[in-house]
Every structure is written in C-alpha cells, then in structure tokens.
Amino acid sequence: MEPPIYLDCHATTPLDPRVLDAMLPYFQEHFGNAASHSHVFGLQAKAAVDRARGLVAKLIGADPSEIVFTSGATEALNLGLKGVFEAARRKGDHIVTVATEHKAVLDTCLELEGRGARITRLGVDALGHVDLEALADAIDDDTILVAVMAANNEIGTLAPLADIGQITRRAGVLLLTDAAQAFGKIPLNVEALGIDLLAISSHKIYGPKGVGALYVRGHDPKVRLSAQMHGGGHERGMRSGTLDVPGIVGLGEAARIAAEEMASDTERIGSLRDRLESRLLALPRTQRRGDLAARLAGNSSVTFSYVPSSTLMMQVRDVAVSSGSACTSADPSPSHVIQALGASKEEADWTIRFGLGRFTTEAEIDRAGELFEAAIGAIRGASPRWEVANRGGVDAGS
C-alpha cells in the first residue's frame, strides 16, 4: 500500500519540522504569559512574541507595531471589516468588495448589511479579475473601505493590488486585503501596494493552526478600528486575550523560512503544477480555471466535463484534493467562485482544486496524474451523457 498523497495545500499545509522545533520550548520550558512583565518567565515569552512580530512585519514591509496577532485570517478579516465599519460610521457606511472573495469576507459583509452597511459586490471576468474601472466607479462619497483578496483560494488568480491601491489612495478610502493564500508565497509590500489592512494565517505557510495576524496601518493614514474582543487591552487594545506564544513563535518561524525560500519554492512547485496540468489538460473536454499567468504557483483548478467532483474524489481516495474552499465544505452547493467566472452550476460541480506545496514530490504528481486519468476514464465510460457528448451529439442536460 502506497501512502496517500496530499494535494490540498490551499485548505491547510503540513507543519514544517523547523517550525515545530522553534515552537517546542514555549510549551514547557518557556511557558510564561507574554503580558506578565514583572518576571523572567513573562519577559522570555514577550521577547519571543516580539521577535515573531518583527519577522511577520518584515515579510510584508510593515512596522512590527502594526501587526495584531489573532486566531487566524477569519478573525483578522472580521476585525478589519467590522472594526473599520464601526469606527467610521460618521464618515460613511459603504463597503466595496468582490463576488469571488472568501466567505470570511462575504459573510461578514452580509452581517454588516444587517447592521446598516451598504455593500457593493463587484463581478469578475472569466479569469477571476475585477474590472478596475468598475471598482473605481463603485466608490462614492460614503465609501469607507474596499476589500479585495490578494490571491484567490480556489483558482489562484492574483489581484493587481498595486493598481487597486492607487484607486483607493486617490479616492481616500481604505484597502483591506485577504492575503491568507498569498502571504509567504508571493512578494507583498504594504507600502508599495497601498494596503491599509492585511489578513494572514499561519497554517497556509507551514505554520500551526489557530494563529494569524492583521496588519493595521499606523500612519498616512493611521487606521482606526473598533475592537471586537475586550478584556485586558492586549495587542494595543485591538484584540484582547492571552497570546498563544507557541503558535505565534511558529508563525514567526514560518514567515522567516518563507522569506528565505519563497523564490525557490515558487519555481519548484510551479514546475510540478505544470507537470500535472500537462497530463490532465490533455484529457478531452477539460478546462483550467483562473488566470494562467497571474496565479499562485501551487494552484490548479480544473473542470472535468461530465465528471461530478464528489464522484471523482470518492474514486481517487488516495489523493487529497478539494472541490472548493475547505471553509465552505459544510455547504453542498457548487463553488460561488467558479460560477462567478461565468460557469454553470454543473460546471462548478465538475471542478477540482489541486493545491501543491513545499513537500509535494515529482513521484506524487506522477502517481496522482495516473490515478485521476484512470478514474476520469472510468466515470466517463459509464456515463450516457459523456457518450452522447463525445459523439458530437447534443446533451440536453449540459
């Protein structure tokens, strides 16, 4: 029996052994509370947190004081969206976002609508890009925030953040970016890109689960947030609660490794992705989703016509992949991202997301390709609809 293959790195990544080594001393040996400044145990913990804060900040070109640690990107996005809305109510109540955003943004915006916010959700083209003219036109006198993700979690498309940042700067509104998938994988500089708030998650870059951060611009302009968690005034009053020192240390170490290995990881992972796609896209009636050029190196979103994703994943149990975002796995409806590209619900249901990562091997890619080829052939071979379509007939259900 060969071991299973993990190709779902957009959902989560395995912990890098170097990250684990960095974390271990802070579970027992250096167990202090980072908020306890009156003794060595607390000071050791604080020093470790400060170092991690600096490593995270360095990776995005920020000042360490602008990093607010959270339990992950979802909390960071909630803090950014709700915090800005509540703090800026006197200025305006309008937020602009995009239909392909993660549910952590879309559902939070839906919640804010119930509190009186006005939300504009912009569509995208077939590659997953928002129209920049439409984005600029959507901003009005009551707009307080634009929320656009850096890299899409399902199709890997990279947003033109520099162009979007110029639009928001000219309009005098804040730009919030969900960088959960982009942080540590592509170069990001909040100053150069004009980003005011940026959310990250540790477990997407080979760090531990349950820890993330929100970058909050501290100058030109200084972003003001209404705290969503109270009690103790931790993280400059923006996020109260005892800090997860081992987790934060892990995030910092993961950020340090990413800074050093991002370029080589991107080249190697991109080559493996191309190797997998050259095999899968050779199959008939198969389509790659998203932007083929501006995308994450480890992402491949492929539609296999007449092959339901649930059936395919059942057939290829030895390969871990996804039919969409892991955060919406409880929702059986087809991907909102794929449908936003102009695909039908059925085409969305035929789409599989492959996520390659730092520990993916060439042998795993070749074996996965073989398994998917065989499974797709078997499923299509048993499908009357595929037989009709393959003969050039009209499939009434397509």
Amino acid at 276: L
Spell 251-284 as b/e; 16+ CB within 10 A means b: bbbbbbbbeeebeebbebbbebbeebbebbeebe
What residues form DSSP beta bridges with 302?
A: 288, 352
- The residues, any chain, with a CB within 8 Å of residue 104's CB and separated by 6 or more, are 73, 74, 77, 78, 178, 327
Distance CA 343, CA 303 (A): 10
Q: Is there a cis peptide before residue 221, judged by omega within 30 degrees of 0?
A: yes
Residue where the block lists tokens 């797709």: 376
- 3-state helix/strand/coil string of 39-52: CHHHHHHHHHHHHH
Q: Supply the DSSP symbol for 206.
A: T
- Pure H helices in the chain: 17-23, 40-60, 73-87, 103-114, 132-138, 161-171, 190-193, 245-280, 309-315, 336-340, 345-349, 362-381, 384-390
Mutual angle of helices 245-280 and 362-381, in 10-degree steps: 60
Contact 74, 108 (CB under 8 A): no
Q: Which two tokens stand for residue 4?
A: 């299973």
Which residues carry out catalysis? 327
Distance CA 181, CA 155 (A): 11
- Phi/psi at 237 (nearest 5 deg)? 80, 0
Nearest to 141 by CA among 173, 103, 113, 119: 173
Contact 188, 200 (CB under 8 A): no
